[in-house]
Amino acid sequence: MGSLQPVIDPLFLQIALGVFMLGVCFISLQQVARVLERQCRLRELEERVRVEKERNSRSGSIQ
């Protein structure tokens, strides 16, 4: 009797590879979303600082 070697179905390999690729894409998109969210927060903070500086300079010149 010959030795029995397990045969992996090519469809299973394609599905496994697809799931893996989707996982990698999902993780990458999460990281991109985090970076974009941080950039948005930073812009908001920069805008607040700019507005506050303008207020301070106006109130300083009025006095």
Q: Indicate whether 6 belongs to any domain.
A: no
Confidence of residue 63 (pLDDT cuts 50, 70, 90): very low
Structural domain boundaries, residue 63: 28-63
pLDDT tens, residue by residue, 12-28: 999 999 999 999 999 99
What value, to the nearest 5°, has the Cα angle with vertex 6 and ends 2 and 11?
140
Q: Indicate whether 39 belongs to any domain.
A: yes
Distance in angstroms (rounded) separating the CA atoms of residues 57 and 63: 10
Q: Indicate whether 33 belongs to any domain.
A: yes
Distance in angstroms (rounded) separating the CA atoms of residues 15 and 11: 6
pLDDT tens, residue by residue, 30-62: 999 999 999 999 999 999 999 999 999 988 755
Classify burial at 24, counting beta carbons within 10 Å of its beta carbon; exposed 0-12, middle 13-18, buried 19 or more: exposed
CA 50 to the chain's CA centroid? 27
Domain count of the fold of the chain: 1
Q: Which pTM value belongs to this model?
A: 0.64
Q: Indicate whether 60 belongs to any domain.
A: yes
